[in-house]
Amino acid sequence: MSIKLKLTVFLSLLVAAILMLNLSITYFWSKAGMQKSAIDRMDIISKQIGESIKSYEDELERLEKAQEEKLLAASIAIRSSLDPDIDNVTNEELVKLTEELQLEGISLWVRTPNDIVVKKSSKPGEINLGSNTMDYWYRAFQQLFARQPVNVGFGRAMPNFWSGPFNFATSDPDLILKWGDYYDGTTNYMINPFMRGDVLVDFKDSVGTEKLIKQLLQDNSDLVEITGIDPAFFGKAPIIKIKKGQTRL
């Protein structure tokens, strides 16, 4: 092989090596840049979701507190309007008070040897409903009747009053309700006014986290999935309740 040919081959290999090196550097630099860009973008989206969730939770808490204060005021009004002996109270009186106070219903609970049950109510389906299978609700009722501050890890407690989280009604699982429970020792029953949770459902549908995530997925075609994990419940089995044959989480 002549020197000229050898030189040509050497230069060709050198140019090819330089080109390969340049392509490799460009590839890894571009890959690193794209990865950083993707990470930065996901960080921005995560922060956006986090701020939206915080804003949503704050507003939801404000709405819940407003309803809890209304239920407390209603409980005091009911106590002032009814006879302290449940045997002298009629279901018709409760229906009338429900309308006057713009509530969904009013139930009166009494203690029995093994349970706390509804004896009178503006809703016929509530009468004779027991609570000893209602987990922390039953514990809250027991504490109220014992004139103790309610401490069950859920809901909001105030003097002589406790309001649990929004939940499906046992007597009508299609309804989401907010309950208040009041007992100050002046009656032989616990007062339980309740109201519709439509405000929660409407608020969740209009500005809730699920709507935000759906919108982000629609607006960013390269996003495949967004998952949120609550450390308080992660890894734990879901709490499933059967209410009138219907499964509710």
pLDDT for the residue numbered 161: 97
Number of Cβ within 10 Å of residue 157's Cβ equals: 19
Contacts 24+ apart (CB under 8 A), 27-35: none
pLDDT of residue 246: 41
Q: 177: helix, coil or strand?
A: strand
Residue 228 pLDDT greater than 70, yes or no: no
> First vs last Cα of the chain: how many Å apart?
83
Model confidence band, residue 233 (pLDDT cutoffs 50, 70, 90) = low
Rounded distance between C-alpha atoms, residue 133 and residue 131, angstroms: 5
Cα 131 to Cα 122: distance, rounded to the nearest angstrom: 18
The pLDDT, as a whole number, for residue 175 is 73
The domain of 106 spans 1-225+233-249
pLDDT tens across 85-131, in order?
A: 999 999 999 999 999 999 999 999 999 999 999 999 999 989 999 99
Average pLDDT over residues 64-89: 95
Tally of domains in the chain: 1
Mean pLDDT of the chain: 81
Distance CA 76, CA 68 (A): 13
The per-residue pLDDT for range 24-58, each reduced to its tens digit, is 776 676 766 777 777 777 777 777 777 777 777 78
Residue 240 predicted with pLDDT over 50:
no
